[in-house]
A = this chain, B = another copy of it.
């Protein structure tokens, strides 16, 4: 009766339901897990690297998307934040064997992530938010290359000449793709990619500030930042150098977080559907677990260029 099986008479069902109500009965999940071998719990893993950017609203937004979907399917969600790298071994075992989980969402993996390797080798179900690291992995992502390309093409179409970029850490597929998109756009427009105009950041505001300080010396007139946080830092650097945005320097960000509308001028940026990305990851994982989808499954969500105030109108023609 409890599990809504079809072959019970209405009378019996009613009787049982009554007793359940009266006694406040709940099935013991541990016993159920023991026999079904299913926990109805998903694990969400944020690897070590990400903890430094963890305060970025990107993650909470992702959580909300995941949580909503997980709740709707009557699953639960276990959270694992990576600690130091040395502990990764122990970390993996804990997640995998003590974790009581049916599958894992990996929210932010670096290249050659130990976790991904192990998961793949052990054939444990997981969905990665990012680029597929191997042929078997299930992934959910946006097309970062395309999105970045759109951003930079926007800059080009407005007539900017020396377009730099502040990239994220190179061991992240997101960062590399956005950088690739930047290069593609430049080449497609018949321009050369100057390595001088590519500086490294780490997604934090401070690194955007530092990166922009460098780029300003190299006389860029526009910059594409791999996320909004760095774009905000870049904006601050431009202002502190006594220059104006977008008159002297244009800026495009990536993410479209709330802060994009809080800075002055508001940020032109690429919107990615973060919440949906999380929801989709959870949805895919659950469907995979329930056999409604077969691995490897890949989903790509659309992005959108949001034009605000950091790029100005069309200005010069080359």
Contact = CB atoms under 8 A, between A and B. Distances in A.
Interface of A: 26, 28-31, 33-34, 39-41, 44, 51, 54-57, 59-61, 63-64, 67-68, 71, 74, 76-81, 83, 91, 93-94, 97-100, 205, 232-233, 236, 239-240, 257-258, 262, 264
Contacts of A236: 262, 264
A51 B61 CA distance: 10
Contacts of A258: 55, 205
A91 B40 CA distance: 15
Contact of A81 (B54, B63, B99): B63
A51 B78 contact: no
Q: How many copies does the complex hold?
A: 2
Given A29-B100, A74-B98, A100-B100, 18 more contacts: A26-B97, A28-B34, A30-B33, A31-B34, A39-B100, A40-B98, A41-B78, A41-B100, A44-B79, A55-B57, A67-B80, A71-B83, A77-B78, A205-B262, A232-B262, A233-B262, A236-B264, A239-B264
Contacts of A44: 79
A237 to B, nearest CB: 11
19 contacts: A26-B98, A29-B98, A29-B99, A30-B34, A34-B34, A39-B100, A40-B98, A51-B64, A54-B64, A55-B57, A55-B60, A56-B57, A59-B60, A60-B60, A64-B81, A71-B81, A71-B94, A77-B80, A236-B262
Contact of A68 (B55, B77, B83): B83
Contacts of A31: 30, 34
Most B CB within 10 A of own CB, among A76, A93, A236: A76
B78 A94 contact: no
Contact of A26 (B54, B79, B93): B93
A149 B218 CA distance: 48
A23 to B, nearest CB: 13
A67 B68 CA distance: 21
A40 B51 CA distance: 23
